[in-house]
Structure 1
């Protein structure tokens, strides 16, 4: 019996031909669209050398690279703070105490509903009025941590609920307290299972750091606006360069996610093969005994 669960029936010969035709037509349509966009940009003079000249200077490259470093710094700080807050929230939502689950649920639902941009503006306006004289990075990290902790808490909770109940019951049978079973048995396995989803959450955090331009925090998007203000003729070019820089970071995270998924798949297949070998050995030994 195969351990894989098929969510749909594999296409037949006609279905494969139809999918291939759709893929070819879609690829041609995308190429035609890109050619039309390129033609339009060329007609409007967007490929002229003077509009790209500013990006050939070392000072501009370093200026944008420093903005990328600031973006990654904000993303790392926000991801660490969000995860540190998300784990207690997820455990609180799964708590047997109803009031704890209710409070954590209210927090998660509230901060999931509030737009991140409004939350950043609220933090940067209200906290200084209360005497918090923080740098822009602190305000951005606080707002993003509050928002993404609610998102990540649901990922952590789903990862915990996806594990078989037998894991927790086995830990309790060994004499562990419920908190110890969750901390030492259930949570580590859940974290390994939901690692691809956590990488996707980090990718969302990296992209959301672009909202820091409203503070203003000197991140990549804000620095591209500075470049386009200095060279107004290069507005579109600055947006293109910054998009490519964000794309490199996103591609690296997506590559890491694919590698993690492949490694998890190999681990599952290895365990299935070992289990299958044990079953085969047991059946062979039983047959030998009967003979």
Structure 2
């Protein structure tokens, strides 16, 4: 019943149209995939000689090292972005006006600045090594975006929860850590994971500052292959790994969200059976 509160149940004609649309969309997608495969076959991208280099131990080691560097940059940027986002969100929610203005200025500036510009500025102007420059750029951008996610999640909690906590004599820090944040996590979590997926994909910008990440490893392999269109086999190898990592993060987000939505089952307390009280003189039972 709760699934049909906001819309009507589709009738037989609507279900038939939905099936027709699904079949048509599936045929279009299958046609696009077939067309792409035809182009790859027509240009000889599945020939054995173009895939034989990936059997070499040196190329496999280069790809694994690049993947490890990508995960290292992502791990550092993810942790620092979450920390920076929490600090900036606390500043934006502060009752002190100078602190709130300073946090707002940082959030708006770094959120509007392109990630590549920040990475290049840190790498070239400040003369920072590739890994710290990449992590710093990703942290500043994603941290500012996550700050808005955290702030929106806290503000999404019902106002009555905050007022009830203050009426019990709790301090603002206690209200934030014990009441607002735990309840806001459910609203924040999908957006947090989505932003971390963006950070994972943006680690590929590291190849522009010579950081030896996964995409840079693929570029080095492609430039040393001596046949036409060497980048296509490399892309066909690298792309599924990027897609798999992003899907893994999305699956983790859905898994955590389902656990958060589960209702906690409690058992009723044992209550003693009520006994009749003593008789009061002059009062009829």
TM-score interval w.r.t. the shorter chain? 0.7 to 0.9
Give the Å deviation of 1:189: 2.8
Q: CA separation of 1:189/1:5 partners in 2, compared to 1, >3 Å: closer, same or farther?
A: farther
Structure 1 residues 238-257: Cα deviation after superposition (integer angstroms, max 9, x where no partner) = 01111111112112111112
- Matched-pair contact (CA < 8 Å) for 1:196–1:260: no
Q: CA separation of 1:38/1:77 partners in 2, compared to 1, >3 Å: closer, same or farther?
A: same
Q: CA separation of 1:7/1:217 partners in 2, compared to 1, >3 Å: closer, same or farther?
A: farther
- Matched-pair contact (CA < 8 Å) for 2:186–2:257: no
Give the Å deviation of 1:40: 1.5
The answer to which structure has the higher helix fraction is 1
Give the Å deviation of 1:264: 2.7
| SS class of match (2:126) | helix
Distance across 1 between alignment mates of 2:162 and 2:149: 19
Indicate the residue corresponding to 1:178 in structure 2. Answer: 172
Distance across 2 between alignment mates of 1:104 and 1:242: 38
Structure 1 residues 84-140: Cα deviation after superposition (integer angstroms, max 9, x where no partner) = 111121121122223322222221111111111111111111112xxxxx4311111
Indicate the residue corresponding to 2:155 in structure 1. Answer: 161
| SS class of match (1:95) | coil
Root-mean-square deviation (CA), in Å? Answer: 2.2
- Matched-pair contact (CA < 8 Å) for 1:140–1:212: yes
Indicate the residue corresponding to 1:237 in structure 2. Answer: 233
Distance across 1 between alignment mates of 2:52 and 2:60: 11
Indicate the residue corresponding to 2:55 in structure 1. Answer: 56
Q: CA separation of 1:35/1:89 partners in 2, compared to 1, >3 Å: closer, same or farther?
A: same
Greater shift, 48-57 or 88-97, is seen at 88-97
Question: TM-score scaled to structure 2, two decimals?
Answer: 0.86
Indicate the residue corresponding to 1:207 in structure 2. Answer: 201
- Matched-pair contact (CA < 8 Å) for 1:83–1:149: yes
Distance across 1 between alignment mates of 2:176 and 2:51: 56
Indicate the residue corresponding to 2:21 in structure 1. Answer: 22
Pairs aligned (count): 267
Structure with bigger gyration radius = 2
Give the Å deviation of 1:206: 0.5
Indicate the residue corresponding to 2:217 in structure 1. Answer: 223
Question: TM-score scaled to structure 1, two decimals?
Answer: 0.85
Gaps of 5+ in 2: 269-285
